[in-house]
Amino acid sequence: MDQFIHHLKQRQLSSKTRKDYEKIVMRMGKCDPIEFLKKTINSDTPIGTVLPIRSAIKHYLIAEKGMTEDEANELLPKSKGVPNRLRDSLTEDELDTYRQESEKCPEPIRTILLLLPETGMRINEICSLRRTDITEKRRIKGFLFRGKGRKQRFIPLNTRASTLVDQYVEEQYLGEDWLFNGYKGTPIKPDAVRKWTRKMQSKFPELTMLSPHLLRHTFATNALRGGMDLRTLQALMGHSSIETTARYLHPDAQMLFDALRAIE
């Protein structure tokens, strides 16, 4: 197990991903990895559940059994499973309600909540931003940071987001390393942000599905609706595979309604 944990750290996976993989391997115990995988998943298992289990077993085979990545991939059965349930995005009216309610939150929660649907960033990424991550490329202001998998990514800021960042830095920034400070010099925790989205869920029936991930989905849906191509969206979202980005191609309820209204 120690070799496995060391291997995951070397791969520079996020702490959450490492913990998830460690829990999977602990569940496996002394079972044969391949047999454990076959018993744990079946054709009815959601693909979002299949992939982390398969990845954890692959890393275990590399770390503990001395296999190469190609050897592990060859040995593991092909991933099967039911596609994840499609998530709707917020409608324009719901997004307006969300923004109005976000304005009432204390800093830095307010700025983070307002930036999420403007940037499409993962909640862990935005909470871990440093002041030095605010930069310019070709006179375009944005965040330059290392996201999931420690891959460097540049997120340009639109006018609304740029104004939010400028206002926050001028009025709220404490002059420390982390852009959004939490407890005793640490970055703010994602759960501190989720607490406020849960409050909105309970207050507004139309926001019952609200979460930081839904706001990321809302960004992607709005980007596609605005004509952004899939490759550009893939770069902005930080997806390793364009197949992951392609999930957002499915029209949401608002798109379907607009399409039907257009042919009335």
Could you give the residue numbers annotated as active site? Answer: 122, 148, 213, 216, 239, 248
Q: Decide: 215 and 117 in contact? Cβ < 8 Å.
A: yes
| Bond prior to 156 in cis (omega within 30° of 0) | no
Q: Give how far the C-alpha of residue 24 lies from the chain's centroid of Cα atoms, to the nearest Å.
A: 21
Which residues, in sequence order, are bridge partners of residue 140?
137
State phi, psi for 135 to the nearest 5 degrees.
-150, -175
Determine the Cα–Cα distance for residues 179 and 145; give it in Å rounded to an integer.
Answer: 12
Distinct helix (H) and strand (E) counts, the chain: 14, 3
- Residue 72: CB partners within 8 Å, gap ≥ 6? 58, 61, 62
Determine the Cα–Cα distance for residues 11 and 59; give it in Å rounded to an integer.
Answer: 10
| Burial grade of 201 (CB within 10 A; 0-12, 13-18, 19 or more) | middle
Determine the Cα–Cα distance for residues 179 and 186; give it in Å rounded to an integer.
Answer: 10
